[in-house]
Chains A and B, each alone.
Chain A
Amino acid sequence: MSLLQRLRRSPWLTPLALGLWGWLLLWSRLSGRLDLLLNAAFHAVVTVAGAVLMLLALIQLRGARRRRGGPVPLGVLLSLGVALLMLAFPPAPSFSDLAANRQDSLPEAPQLSFFLPPEQRTLTEWVRLLRSQPDPDLHAGDPLQISGFVLARPGEPAQLARLTVRCCLADATPAGLPVDWPEGSDPVPDQWLEIKGTMTVQDRNGVPTNVVKPASIKVIPRPERPLEP
């Protein structure tokens, strides 16, 4: 009997697969991986599913010694391998790549929050505000402090952007603001920056547009919760 056949006949394989998937879900919650993959609304569901799978694994483990049956389908081995790979290689998406394939069609805010003072607004809140009140002069001179990643698109000046997510990374939608980058600065795509400055109005392609004028630019690590609802 080959090793593969012996492995597929092992009574420990099913509890191992269940336990590994359960642990993957729980670990994704504990390690903050979910913050990078899903909207927060789904975190509790994933955690409960992880706990249920761990419980099922324990129940299956109890009766494993006495269990007799045919070989486990090959697919179970495949899914077990995938779970191991997912544990070994955490996600490290390029936010620019994710944004490059998407329209800038930002979903509506889940709640009204743009009445916050200008310097307390997040980048996404700024974008929503500018779309709901498109007169650029209304916001000229407002102070701001925002953070995001550098979004470079071919043929366009780099923007500072965030990704919003309703479900998971599959529906990530970029929200970006044009920035008047200082002379000589060369923003690196995907780099996370915090910008303090003011909102100005500049002529871009013949259209008055709100543009961020930085007073200071600081490189920051990727935030723990890089996605916004």
Chain B
Amino acid sequence: MTRASTAWAIFQGLLIEALPFLLLGVAIAGIARWLVPQSAWARRLPRNAVLAPIVGALLGFALPACECGNVPVARRLLASGAPLGTGFGFLFAAPVLNPIVLASTWAAFPDKTWLLWARPLGAFLIALALSMLLGLLAESRLLAPALLEERRLTQPLSRVGLLERGSGLVGGSAPVPERPTSVERLRPGELLGHSTREFLNLLTLLVLGSALAAVVQTWLPRSWLLALGSAPTLSVIALMLLALVLSVCSSVDAFLALGFAAQVTPGALLAFLLLGPVVDLKLAGLFTVLLTPRAIGITAVAASLLVLLIGQWVNFLQL
């Protein structure tokens, strides 16, 4: 019974801490939608497979949000017709490549200068690789159905498959793509209503993710994970699992890592700081508003393999 009440308290702590950041993310997404009318983003962003994720990753400096807050912002980017690479580059890199997280990493590890460049560089490379990997999938297999539908409204007809258009003549020439011209700006009331619905939908998923993280944390002894700390490969895997389970916000995870930095290998430390902002139990629900279950699975596996490789490489170089 005491375990259940402890899990209940951890759940409340995780949820109440994350909720303001989710609200901030929805607010940023709402303001962006109001200031820049639908699809005006898309016309200005590069569509190149490499440039698009780079631009997305760098957007983190302009729209600082942790991993909970950046889900609604990434969704807004994709729904507005931004290139997939830009949306995913932002989704995966912005939780690290933003001034708040970089400052907290520096504050926690002022003596580990290698970490101050390795963390942002690692996050950037992971975002680039994941964006390019997910870009290989067809949009219909990649994006959540509701997002896909919203995104198609802002896409020129030529970019939408014949069977997906719902209209058109078979055998006829493809219609000349018409770029959306002037799109009316949403009225403040409509915008508020939309943002409110988005917030409540994401909140439900955050509730489920926090519950999962609290249950796993309470019943899975953390000592099992940290006991593996000194072996090069096992330590990286152990800290990756810890990041997955803890689901702590990226703006404070460096301070948490400080607590066990002396007991684990440098590669494991970096792995903890890289994987948590991309994949954790709390995010499991939130990602369903962006990606199909299959794409979430691919993201989780690919991100884990990349982080494991980076961690191993850092241990090999003995930074």
Contact check, B205 vs A75: say whether CB atoms are below 8 A apart. Answer: yes
Establish whether residues B226 and A103, one from each chain, have CB atoms under 8 Å apart when the complex forms: yes
Of B158-166, B168-176, B252-260, B291-299, the segment with at least 4 beta carbons within 8 Å of chain A is B252-260
Q: In the complex the two chains form, what is the Cα distance from A14 to B8 in whole Å? A: 25
B1-40: which have CB < 8 Å to A?
A: 2-3, 5-6, 8-10, 12-17, 19-21, 23-24
Q: Quick one: which of A59, A73, A78, A167 contacts B248, CB cutoff 8 A?
A: A167
Asked whether, in the complex, the Cβ of A170 is within 8 Å of the Cβ of B10, the reply is: yes
**In the bound complex, what is the Cα–Cα distance between A39 and B197 (angstroms)?**
30
Q: What is the 8 Å Cβ interface bit string for chain A, positions 29-63, against chain B (1 contact, 0 not)? A: 00001101111001001101100110010011001
Residues of B close to A140: CB separation below 8 A:
none
- B16→A48 contact, CB < 8 A: no
Q: Let me know if B315 is at the binding interface, CB within 8 A.
A: no
Interface pair B255/A103, CB less than 8 Å apart: no
Check if B197 sits within 8 Å of A36, measured CB to CB. Answer: no
How far in angstroms is the closest Cβ of chain B from A46? 6
Beta-carbon contact of A93 and B16 below 8 Å: no
Structural contact, B10 and A169, CB atoms closer than 8 A? yes
The answer on a CB contact under 8 Å between A60 and B248 is no
In angstroms, Cα B101 to Cα A4, docked, is 43
Binds B, one of A84-92, A114-122, A200-208: A84-92
A2 within 8 A of B: no
Docked pose: A212 CA to B3 CA in angstroms = 29
Is A25 in contact with chain B by the CB < 8 A criterion? yes
A37 and B260 form a contact (CB under 8 A):
no
> Hey, which chain B residues are within 8 Å of A166, CB to CB?
252, 255-256, 259
Q: Which residue of B lies closest to A95 (CB)?
A: B6
What are 9 A-B pairs at a CB distance below 8 A? Answer: A14-B200, A37-B9, A37-B13, A37-B17, A60-B193, A102-B222, A105-B259, A167-B252, A167-B255
CA–CA, A42 to B17, complex, Å?
7
Interface bits A69-89 vs B (CB < 8 Å: 1, else 0): 000110110110010001001
Please, which residues of chain A bring their CB within 8 A of the CB of B205? Answer: 75
Q: B196–A18 contact, CB under 8 A?
A: yes
Report if B154 contacts A (CB, 8 A).
Answer: no
Judge whether A28 is part of the interface by a CB distance below 8 angstroms.
Answer: yes
Contact assessment for A17 and B5 in the assembled complex, using a CB-CB cutoff below 8 Å: no
Check A101–B218 contact: CB distance below 8 A.
Answer: yes
Measured between alpha carbons, how far is A229 from B262 in the docked complex, in Å? 19
Within 8 Å CB of A76, what residues of B?
200-201, 204
B247 in contact (CB, < 8 A): yes
Chain A: interface residue total (CB-CB under 8 A): 54
Q: Are the C-beta atoms of B17 and A101 separated by less than 8 Å?
A: no
Chain B positions 181-219 with a Cβ under 8 Å from a chain A Cβ = 189, 192-193, 196-197, 200-201, 203-205, 207, 213-214, 217-218
Q: Does B262 contact A91, Cβ atoms closer than 8 Å?
A: no
With A79-B200, A97-B218, A167-B249: A105-B9 Cβ-Cβ less than 8 Å: no
Tell me whether B207 and A25 are in contact (CB under 8 A). no
Q: In whole angstroms, how far apart are the Cα atoms of A155 and B223 in the complex?
A: 15
Q: A45-B20, A63-B189, A75-B205 are in contact. Are A91 and B9 (CB under 8 A)?
A: yes
B221 at the interface (CB under 8 A from A): yes
Among A28, A52, A169, A171, contact of B9 (Cβ-Cβ < 8 Å): A169
Q: How far is the CB of B149 from chain A (nearest CB, A)?
A: 15
Q: Which residue of B lies closest to A60 (CB)?
A: B196
Chain B residues with Cβ under 8 A from A86's Cβ?
12, 15
Known: A97-B2, A101-B223, A168-B16. Is A21-B203 also a contact (CB below 8 A)? Answer: yes
